Structure 1
């Protein structure tokens, strides 16, 4: 891959990462007002699920 393609790929990954983190933070804050323990549990399950999914693709 050329240097330009690598740079574009890194920018796309960075934007995706920021979007996911923002989405999870918003979900966590909205759920925390209802039930803080459930919000923490759901966040942990989501993170574990994303890690498992990433490993299963490779």
Structure 2
């Protein structure tokens, strides 16, 4: 997996002043970083891990 993220995106529901996370693309997965401290780095996931996470969020398993 390439770990140089591109195309960072912030959630469309976020206000410009709110802290949130951004998601970027990497070969074979996704990268995630904190918008309030982008210099702290990011973590990466495989495509399968990212899809499982999104499925869990949509199923409200973190409520």
Q: Report the TM-score range of the alignment, normalised by the length of the smaller protein.
A: 0.3 to 0.5
Query: Max radius of gyration: which structure?
Result: 1
State the TM-score, normalized to the length of structure 2.
0.31
Of structures 1 and 2, the one with the larger relative CO (CA 8 A, separation 6+) is: 2
State the TM-score, normalized to the length of structure 1.
0.32
Q: Which has the higher strand share?
A: 2
